[in-house]
Every structure is written in C-alpha cells, then in structure tokens.
Amino acid sequence: MLSNRKLFLEYLAQTSPSPSMLEVEKAKGVFIYSPSGKKYFDLISGVNVSSVGHSHPKVIEAIKLQADNYLHTMVYGELIQSPQIKFAELLISYLPDNLESVYFVNSGAEAIEGAMKLAKRYTGRTEIISFKNAYHGSTQGALSIFGGDYLKQAYRPLLPGIRHLDFNDFDQLQRIGPETAAVVAEVLQAEAGMIQQQAGFLEALRKRCDEMSCLLILDEVQTGFGRIGSMFGFESYNIVPDILVLAKSLGGGMPLGAFISSREIMEVLSYSPELGHITTFGGHPVCCASGMAAMEVILDEDLVHCALEKETAFREKLKNPAIQEIRGRGLMLALDFKNKEFMLRVVKCGFEEGFITDWFLFCDTAIRISPPLNISYDEIEEATLLLDYCINKVKSQ
Ligand SMILES: Cc1ncc(COP(=O)(O)O)c(C=O)c1O
C-alpha cells in the first residue's frame, strides 16, 4: 500500500517546488498535530485564516448546527438563507455607512474579480491601478493586477488597461486619472513582506481617488478581522474604501469571500445586464454560519485589541541579533534575516522542532509570523523560545 506521502505526490496536482510534506492528523487551537502525535505551533494560521485558532468549539458547533439544517440549496441570490442574512447584518453593523451591501463569494480571488467588475461597470471606465509587490489572487483578473512579473509571465495576454504604481510613492498617485475605474490596494502589503504605509500615504490615495471620481478597492483579505489591531485594517488608517474585499479569516476556516459596497454601487450588477456576477456556492450557508461564529468569537474574546499587545510580546521576545528587522503591525509580522539561505534553514528547523512558518511571495529573506489571534502569552513565550533555538542552531551550522 502506498503511503499518504506517496499518494499526495502521485495523485494531487503539484505546483509548489518545495511542499513541507507535513501530514495533518488534527488541528486544535494554535497547534497542528501529525499522525505520530507530534505537535506544531501554527505560527501562520494557514496564512491568516485561522484567526480564532483551529477547531474553535463555537465555530464547530455553528458548522454542525447548520449542516444539520441544510447545505447547498440554490445558486447565490435566489433563496433566502438565514446564515447569509445574519452574517451580512453582523458585518454591516461593524462597517461604515457606505459599506452596506454584501456579495458573498467563495474566495479572495473571486471577491477581487467581483470588485474589479463592479468598479468597471459602475464608473464606465476600464483602467485598474494596483501596486507593485501586491498579490490579490491567482485567477486571470486577479493575476493581471499582481504586482510582479514572475507568476504571470507565462499566462499573457492578461487583462488590458492595468497599471502598477510603487506603494508609498506619493508622486505616482498623480497617475490615477479620469480614465481610472479603480485602485486596488492593501492597507499593509502582506506578500511584499509586511510593508506598512509611510505616514499619510493611504489618506493621500483616498484623496486622489476622490479627486478623479474613481473607486478605492481595499483588499483586506489578510488584514481583516483584528489582525492589525482594528476589526478592519482601514480603521487603523483613517480611510474608508468604496469597495471592501474580504476572505481568508472571513469564513472562520471555511471557504468564503465577500466584496462589500454601497447599495448604489452594488445595484449596477442587477441590470443591463442582470446577473452581473454569478456564483453557485458563493455564501454557502455552512461557511456563513462558520464565519459568523468566528466573528462573534473575535468580539466576545476581544481579540481585536489584544493583537497590538501580542505584537509587543513577540517583539520583546525576539531579540536574536540574526533578525535584521521586524516589520508589520499587530499579528502580521515579518522577521527578516536579509539572507535567503538562512531563512530557509530556519523554516526547515521549525518543521523539525515543532513550529510552522513560511516566507513571502515578494520577500524570500523573511519569515511570516501571523499566529491565531487567541494565541496565549505562555504560547508566545514557548513559540519564541523554539524560534530562537532554531535561529541559534542555524547560526552554529
Ligand atoms: C491580499 C490577498 N488578496 C487576495 C488573495 C487571494 O485569496 P484566495 O487565495 O482566497 O483566492 C490573497 C491570498 O493569499 C491575498 O493574500
């Protein structure tokens, strides 16, 4: 009989040049367990997904309850399904007035596609601007606004009318013009290696979009739900988007995305032609129930405000001189060794010693630290000791 390892390589399409090959038996809280019972600190939350930890009892309960009631019944937007309505109502109650209409989809990339279509349709313009070193998903529209060349070069032609600006370059904001339908931005550039704005940049971007009457789409797929010390990242920067894009932790561990806008903007998807976006599984009732339960956990356990305090705990404990820089905000951090080989060996050592981390699409000298928001201070202590042990081990090799 073939081992799961062999079956994984033989039957599952492989795209990663170096899969970690860790087999998952179960996951609970901040830990992932292998079949041998060995436990691993999940220091990346499956890339910012498991914000309330793995298998949170309230999330599991909500999933079971909804699964007992009904699974898929009909394509999006036809039948009234209470998990969708209740979750949309909860989301809207925590959002500014103009973010009042939710379109649930399946993933971050689909939410980006929906947001780009919506902006083109609403403004009647076609140009979309995004930023260098930004990742917004892997479908063809999302790939078109990818802020690099490497991943998209083999798939051209992609969408026309796309321009990329340098994040934090105030002068380049002038390139946003009367032909621009929308600018897509992150409030903190995750895959660039947790790059924050220079003071005032996001406000200047908002102002320029207003001057040119184009829409600002904020991709909060990674920054949403308390990661950087506010429920939604934009609240930390004093701006409000025209379209908000959410995914990853939105579903509490189940696949869910959303683009959210004003009723006036969203309405254009309903006429000339109608069915402006179609999705079979978007807003799946089990995913909405799970997402809502996870958001309630974030609220009940006050996980939004502790992200900044836990950032401080990580920073205080990570003083190894091999770490050249710690970037980011809240529980979205990058530890930069400024050396790719060194970084790879720390990641490898983590899998041997019991913690999981990875690196970034646009920064291969730093590791990602974005654990579940409810990681305890004792767990931070234990995880950082392990991390320090690995850094010293790599140094001594
Ligand atoms: C900022 C950002 N936007 C969009 C996406 C795409 O999300 P998904 O993988 O769910 O399509 C990602 C995925 O990593 C992301 O990091």
Whether residues 50 and 97 share a domain: the answer is: no
Q: Last residue of a domain, which of 268, 300, 332?
A: 300
State in Å: Cα 221 to ligand 1 middle: 6
State in Å: Cα 397 to ligand 1 middle: 36
Is the CB–ligand 1 distance for residue 222 below 6 Å? yes
**What pLDDT, in 10s, does the model give residues 237-259?**
999 999 999 999 999 999 999 99
pLDDT number for residue 330? 98
DSSP 210-248: HHTT-EEEEE-TTTTTTTTSSSSGGGGGT---SEEEE-G
Is the CB–ligand 1 distance for residue 219 below 6 Å? yes
Atom of ligand 1 nearest to the CA of 112: 4
If DSSP codes are grouped into helix, strand and coil, which group holds residue 353?
Answer: helix
State in Å: Cα 191 to ligand 1 middle: 10
Angle between helices 57-69 and 285-300 (to 10 degrees): 150
Contact between 340 and 21 under an 8 Å Cβ cutoff? The reply is no
Whether residues 259 and 334 share a domain: the answer is: no
pLDDT higher than threshold 90 for residue 379: yes
The arithmetic mean of pLDDT across residues 207-220, rounded, is: 98
How far, in Å, are 81, 175, 206, 233 from residue 227 at the CA level?
29, 31, 22, 8
Cα–Cα dist 39/120, whole Å: 47
Cα–Cα dist 339/324, whole Å: 10
Q: Report which protein residue has its CA nearest ligand 1's atom 3.
A: 136
State in Å: Cα 135 to ligand 1 middle: 7
Contact between 127 and 179 under an 8 Å Cβ cutoff? The reply is yes
Both tokens of residue 216? Answer: 């600002």
Atom of ligand 1 nearest to the CA of 137: 6
Going by pLDDT thresholds of 50, 70 and 90, the confidence category of residue 392 is: very high
Q: Last residue of a domain, which of 243, 275, 300?
A: 300
- The owner of tokens 């313009």 is 125
pLDDT higher than threshold 90 for residue 356: yes
pLDDT number for residue 160? 97
Cα–Cα dist 376/389, whole Å: 20
374 closest CA partner among 123, 83, 58: 58
Q: Report which protein residue has its CA nearest ligand 1's atom 7.
A: 108
Whether residues 121 and 235 share a domain: the answer is: yes
Whether residues 113 and 172 share a domain: the answer is: yes
Q: Report which protein residue has its CA nearest ligand 1's atom 13.
A: 137
- The owner of tokens 């980006």 is 112
Is the CB–ligand 1 distance for residue 109 below 6 Å? yes
Contact between 215 and 209 under an 8 Å Cβ cutoff? The reply is yes
pLDDT higher than threshold 90 for residue 2: no
- pLDDT > 90: percent of the chain: 99
Q: Last residue of a domain, which of 300, 321, 344?
A: 300
The arithmetic mean of pLDDT across residues 132-150, rounded, is: 97
Q: Is the dihedral of CA 135, 140, 144, 149 positive or negative?
A: positive
Whether residues 213 and 105 share a domain: the answer is: yes
Q: How many CA atoms lie within 13 A of 185 on its CB side?
A: 29
Q: Give the single-character DSSP code of 252.
A: B
CATH number of the domain encompassing residue 21: 3.90.1150.10
Mutate to test the pocket of ligand 1, among 248, 256, 259, 370 (most ligand atoms within 8 A of CB): 248
Is the CB–ligand 1 distance for residue 131 below 6 Å? no
Is the CB–ligand 1 distance for residue 107 below 6 Å? yes
Domain containing residue 68: 57-300
pLDDT number for residue 172? 98
Whether residues 172 and 160 share a domain: the answer is: yes
pLDDT number for residue 394? 98
Whether residues 328 and 280 share a domain: the answer is: no
Pairing of β 195-196 and β 162-165 = unpaired
Q: Which residues contact 227 (CB under 8 A, 6 or more apart)?
A: 48, 51, 233, 249, 307, 330, 331, 332, 370, 373
Atom of ligand 1 nearest to the CA of 106: 10
Whether residues 19 and 76 share a domain: the answer is: no
Mutate to test the pocket of ligand 1, among 15, 107, 151, 221 (most ligand atoms within 8 A of CB): 221
Mean pLDDT of the chain: 97
Is the CB–ligand 1 distance for residue 137 below 6 Å? yes
Whether residues 99 and 122 share a domain: the answer is: yes
The arithmetic mean of pLDDT across residues 320-336, rounded, is: 98
Query: Angle 49-50-55 (CA atoms, 0-180°, nearest 5)?
Result: 140
Whether residues 273 and 310 share a domain: the answer is: no
Cα–Cα dist 113/349, whole Å: 38
Count CB atoms within 10 A of the CB of residue 211. Answer: 13
The arithmetic mean of pLDDT across residues 347-358, rounded, is: 98
**What pLDDT, in 10s, does the model give residues 12-71?**
999 999 899 999 999 999 999 999 999 999 999 999 999 999 999 999 999 999 999 999
The arithmetic mean of pLDDT across residues 108-123, rounded, is: 98
pLDDT higher than threshold 90 for residue 1: no
CATH number of the domain encompassing residue 85: 3.40.640.10
Is the CB–ligand 1 distance for residue 135 below 6 Å? yes
**Number of structural domains in the chain:** 2
- The owner of tokens 């951090």 is 333
Mutate to test the pocket of ligand 1, among 189, 222, 254, 259 (most ligand atoms within 8 A of CB): 222
pLDDT number for residue 280? 98
The arithmetic mean of pLDDT across residues 71-77, rounded, is: 97
Cα–Cα dist 287/368, whole Å: 26
State in Å: Cα 378 to ligand 1 middle: 30
Whether residues 190 and 228 share a domain: the answer is: yes
- pLDDT > 70: percent of the chain: 100
State in Å: Cα 55 to ligand 1 middle: 22
Whether residues 241 and 313 share a domain: the answer is: no
CA 328, chain centre distance (Å): 14
DSSP 144-179: HT-SSSTTTGGG-S--SSEEEE-TT-TGGGGG--TT
Q: Which residues contact 183 (CB under 8 A, 6 or more apart)?
A: 128, 129, 130, 176, 205, 209, 214, 215, 216, 217
